[in-house]
Amino acid sequence: MATSLLRLLIICLGTLCAAPAEAFPPYRSTDAGTADPWSLEMRLGLLRLSRRAGEAVYSSPLLRVNFGLPRNVEVIGELEYRPGAGGLVDAAAGAKWVPFTGSVSLGMETLLLLPVPDAPGLGVEGTLVTTFRHPPSGFRVHLNVAGFHDARPSLTENGWKTGVLAELKRGRFRPGLELFARRTGSEPVQVLAGPGIIVALGRSDVRLGFHFGLTRAAPDVVLDLWGSTAVGLR
C-alpha cells in the first residue's frame, strides 16, 4: 500500500502539480508548519467560484499534495483546472522548510511555477512564512510575505503578495479571518478579506471560505470549498 501511495505522489508532482495562491485552503496565506514525516496530505478543491462585475468564473478541481519529510521539510504539488477555459490553468511544485519551530515558527516556501497549455514559460515564487501560537487558547496567527517572477504570460509578471490569517481552534472547529493583498508590476493592488472555517472529521476535514474584494482590482466575492485527508506511509 505504501508503494502505491508513493507512486501516486510522484505522479501528482510530475504531471499535475498548481495554483500558487492556494497555499492553505480555503485561505490564500499559508502556515509555518509541515506535514508529519512520511505523511501524505491530499487537499481537493471541490469548487472555487469568483464573481467580478456580474460575471462568474469557477474552477474545479483544484489539488494540493503535501508530502512530509524529516527535519520539518515538506514537498508540495498544486494545480488548478478551469472547465471551459483552457482546462489546466495553473501548476506548481516546490518545497517548504521550517527550521525554527515553537510558539513562534519561521520558514520558507519556494515554488517553481510550471508551464501550462496557454502559458508555456516558467516562474518562481518565494514566501517567508511565520506562525505565532498560543496553545492554551488555541489562537494562532500566520504572516506571509512573498515575491514572484512569472514568465509564463505573454508579458513577464513580477510582483508581491502578503497576507495575515488569524485562527481560533475550538474542538474540531477552526474558524479564521484573513486579509490578503497582491500586486503585479504597476497594476492596482488587489485586496481581499473574509472568513473561513475548517471542520475536522476524523483524519479528514471540510474547508469553507468566503473572500470579499476591498479594492476595485479585486474580485467582488470568492467562494472556496475544499476537502482534505492525510495518510501515513509508515
Question: How far is the C-alpha of 136 from the C-alpha of 193, rounded, in Å?
Answer: 27
* CA dist., res. 194 & res. 224, Å (int): 11
Measured from the Cβ of residue 27, the count of other Cβ atoms closer than 10 Å reads 28
Using DSSP bridges, classify how beta strands 73-82 and 87-100 pair: parallel, antiparallel or unpaired. Answer: antiparallel
Cα distances (Å, whole numbers) of residue 6 to 11, 54, 150? 9, 43, 30
Hey, what's the cell of 215? 479594492
Domain hosting residue 139, numbered range: 2-232
Q: Specify the number of domains making up the chain.
A: 1
The grid coordinates listed for 218 are 479585486
Phi, psi (deg, nearest 5) at residue 185? 55, -130
Question: 161, 178 in Cβ contact below 8 A?
Answer: no
Q: Which helix (H) or strand (E) holds 162?
A: strand 157-168
Q: Dihedrals φ, ψ of 203, to 5°?
A: -80, -5
Mean pLDDT by groups of 10 residues along the chain of 234 residues: 39 34 79 95 95 91 95 96 83 97 97 93 97 96 98 94 97 97 96 98 95 97 96 87
Q: Is residue 142 within 8 Å of 164, Cβ to Cβ?
A: yes
Q: Can you read off the three cell numbers belonging to residue 3?
A: 508503494
Which residue in the block uniquely carries the three cell numbers 476595485?
A: 216
Cα angle 122, 226, 31; round to 5:
65
CATH number for position 125 = 2.40.160.40
Q: Are 72 and 101 in contact (CB under 8 A)?
A: yes
Please tell me the distance from the alpha carbon of residue 76 to that of residue 86, in angstroms, as a whole number: 24
CA dist., res. 169 & res. 110, Å (int): 28
d(CA 210, CA 47): 12
pLDDT at 16: 33
**Quick check: 185 and 159 in contact, CB under 8 A?**
yes
pTM over 0.75: yes
Closest listed residue to residue 175, CA positions, set 194, 162, 158? 194
pLDDT at 85: 64
